[in-house]
Amino acid sequence: MLTRFDRILERATLDAMHQAALDMLAGTGLRVDHPDILAELERHAGFNLDASPRVKVSAERVEAWVSEHRTRHKSGPRAPHTAAEPARPCFSVSDRPMWMVERDGKTLRQTTREDVIAGVKLTEALRDKGVRPGATAVPTDVPLRIQPLEQFLITAEYCRDGGRTSQVTDLAAAEIIREMDRVYGRPPRFSIWCPSPLIFGGPELDIFWHFRDEAASVSVGSMPMMGMTAPCDPVGVATLAMAETIGGAAIVHALFPDLPVTIHPHPEPVDMRTGTIVFGTPEWDLLDLMHRDIFRYYGRERGGKLLHTTASVPGAQAQIERTTSATLGVLGGYTAFGPAGQLGLDDVWSPAQLILDLDIVAHAARIARGPEHAPGLETGALAGVVHDVVQSGFLFAEHETTLANMRSQYHQPVVLQRLGRPQWMGAGCPELVADANRYAEERIETYEYEPPRDTLRELRAIYERGRERLGTL
């Protein structure tokens, strides 16, 4: 039975999963279609190539990467925050959504360049709430091949953290984005997401290989789907994800021993009636909570708790699923959450949901901190305070300790309502999604930022050259 949320998998289970992953790599191996990588692997011991082409990876090669990875991250987890010094929740956003929830909270439309600008402005304006600014959608009203360039340029102009995009899936666009990154002096960091089952390949591997001499780091991830591309078992699907990622990491480590290589096993559940990935379900939360145990097993802390949902609009299902995930997260000690404001299997952006996410996590985090003594009302002083109030014949509402402590003792949400039925009706029956949208629009109005003009001018020149190049391919 699950009785704690800071550990789901015991060490003995993780040891058995790791051994099963090693057996998969040594017995079945990874399919590798990249001819240059195959040629390089032939010159390294510990990799057995057959005509498939499938590469069987020895346990020694995997353990070499594991040892290096654990050593690199040997600083270990940070000390937990105490109730006296609670950690403030922080939030990330994603630039993947291609649909937008309209103000009515029910209608969807495809995202535009103006939506991306508004989303960046909103996240920048919410920096004081712990939101890390960035693009919140894809500009679908521009040509497909230009979209990552547009995202990069928009974030460069409207975000203090500079231009960024994660939407690069072909080499031609990657070369242009690499040129734009050089304006900021950034070294390239790569993610290679491998198809399941047991394949080391895909367009991101081609991009990494092209820039391999410049790479500052690389992460190997996989997303096997329980019951579809992986066993219909939570430990089984997680074990397959471990095999795919540690096998890929062992290959990269063997070819580039000085390059930091991390892994991101990311198994997902699938509804077997509809065939769709299902976020926010009980089986999804269990797999998500297992992430941290697997990360720690290989020596690295996991960054944050996901707040995904299958629901496409910010209705009851979205709030139930996200509140469950947030509560499990704060009880497990997480302080980072995201992607905030994202709905519908990563595909939908909602400013209202972003605001609701701030309230959901803050609500759960306040409970997780537990009861806190208010100054002047410690148990040693309590009898005297009660005596004074009783003798005066007044209410505690009139006592100085209530005035001094009421704002700290009562959580103050952004938009969640604290109205009784008469007050709610008297206020015109306000609706949460409408209030959240209104608050988001008010915060956008407070946005202020001027990007460095020289940097923006240089990026725009690269953008124009890249737009012309991509348009001729």
Q: What is the pLDDT of residues 280-310, one digit of tens each?
A: 999 999 999 999 999 999 999 887 999 999 9
pTM (predicted TM-score): 0.91
Residue 5 pLDDT more than 80?
no
Residue 383 pLDDT more than 90?
yes
Selecting from 3.40.50.2300, 3.20.20.480, 3.40.640.10, 3.30.300.130, what CATH number does the domain 1-81+166-303 have? 3.20.20.480
Total H helices, total E strands in the chain: 16, 15
Domain ranges of the chain: 1-81+166-303, 95-151+312-368+413-473, 379-409
| Residue 109, C-beta contacts closer than 8 angstroms, at least 6 positions apart | 99, 100, 102
Residues in the chain: 473
Burial of 406 (0-12, 13-18, 19+ CB in 10 A): exposed
> Regarding predicted confidence, which is higher, 88 or 196?
196
- Is the distance from CB of 99 to CB of 108 less than 8 angstroms? yes
**What does pLDDT average to over the chain?**
92
Identify the pLDDT of residue 403: 87
> Regarding predicted confidence, which is higher, 180 or 81?
180
Identify the pLDDT of residue 86: 56
Q: What is the pLDDT of residues 420-442, one digit of tens each?
A: 999 989 999 989 999 999 999 99
What value does the mean pLDDT take over residues 208-216?
A: 96
| Residue 405, C-beta contacts closer than 8 angstroms, at least 6 positions apart | 374, 375, 376, 377
Q: What is the pLDDT of residues 31-90, one digit of tens each?
A: 999 999 999 999 999 999 988 899 999 999 999 999 999 999 985 444 444 444 557 899
Identify the pLDDT of residue 76: 46
Beta bridge partners of 218: 190, 261
What value does the mean pLDDT take over residues 134-161?
A: 96
Instruction: Indicate the angle between helix axes 316-331 and 282-297, nearest 10 degrees.
Output: 30
Residue 221 pLDDT more than 80?
yes
Alpha-helical (H) ranges within 73-229 are: 113-125, 147-158, 171-183, 203-210
3-state secondary structure 195-219: CCCCECCCHHHHHHHHCCCCCCEEE
> Regarding predicted confidence, which is higher, 402 or 150?
150
Identify the pLDDT of residue 473: 61
Q: Return the half-sphere exposure (C-beta side, CA atoms, 13 A cut-off) of residue 467.
A: 15
What value does the mean pLDDT take over residues 440-450?
A: 96
Burial of 110 (0-12, 13-18, 19+ CB in 10 A): middle
